[in-house]
Amino acid sequence: MRTLASLSPLILVAALLEWSCDGRPPASASVEAASGEVAREARPGRGELWKVVRVIDGDTLVARPEARGVRAQKVRLLRIDTPERDEAGYREATEALESLVGSGSIRLEDEVPGQRRRGNHGRLLAYVFSGDLNVNVEIVRRGWSRFWTRYGRGRFAARFEAAQEEARVAGRGLWGAGLSF
């Protein structure tokens, strides 16, 4: 392990800023992790801050980066697929997303940290966090989507699977009230 004295001033400042921004030590409390010399595990709270402009439906919203002068973008929530406008559960899924994100600040996290991707319709593909809550997983937990694996399982697969089983057993959302997927 390196000592603080052996680090360049720039790396030391970056490590201290990361620590002070969220009140927690860097991902691995070691100096190597702060200097980028070892791989860091992604954790909630590391994505960009965005302001919600409006919710389109249960799996899509419009948001803009909190940096001024940047235009709003459509964001498609990864690993979920809620009912479309003409399907049962559409209104409830949309309302669920609205209740989770409101018009507040959210964080967007990429499937592969630092690799922003867009889907077929030009929408940003992201995990959305409201505070420490993974909104994508919460939509599944509330029963308004299955864990959607059409394009892979992703980095939060275990959380999605647990949320889906919880919703199924409890008969939440589309799992109950005679609605089906």
- pLDDT number for residue 69: 80
Q: Which residues contact 118 (CB under 8 A, 6 or more apart)?
A: 124, 125
Quote the CA–CA distance of 72 and 122 in Å, as a whole number: 13
160 and 137 both lie in a single domain = yes
- Counting the structural domains of the chain, the total is 2
101 and 167 belong to one structural domain: yes
DSSP string, 118-159: E-TTS-EEEEEEETTEEHHHHHHHTTSS----TT---TTHHH
In terms of domains, do 58 and 122 share one? Answer: yes
Q: What is the DSSP string of 23-88?
A: SS--SSSSHHHHHTSS-----TT-SEEEEEEEEEETTEEEEEESSTTPPPEEEEETT--PPPTTST
Q: Would 30 be classed as within a structural domain?
A: yes
pLDDT in tens, 66-123: 887 889 999 999 999 999 999 999 999 999 999 999 988 999 999 999 999 999 999 9
Name the residue range of residue 89's domain: 48-175
| Residue 42 located in a structural domain | no
The mean pLDDT of the chain is 80
What mean pLDDT do residues 42-62 have? 82
Q: Are residues 69 and 155 in the same domain?
A: yes
| pLDDT at 46 (0 to 100) | 59
pLDDT digits (tens, 9 = 90+) for 120-133: 999 999 999 999 99
Together in a domain, 151 and 91: yes
Tell me if 43 is assigned to some domain.
no
Please tell me whether residues 91 and 20 are part of one structural domain. Answer: no
Which residue would you say has higher pLDDT here, 137 or 179? 137
Indicate whether 87 belongs to any domain. yes
Instruction: Verify that 80 and 120 share a domain, yes or no.
Output: yes
Determine the average pLDDT of the residues in 169-177: 92
In a domain, 109, yes or no: yes
Rounded Cα distance between 32 and 29, Å, is: 9
Please report the pLDDT score of residue 79 as a whole number. 98
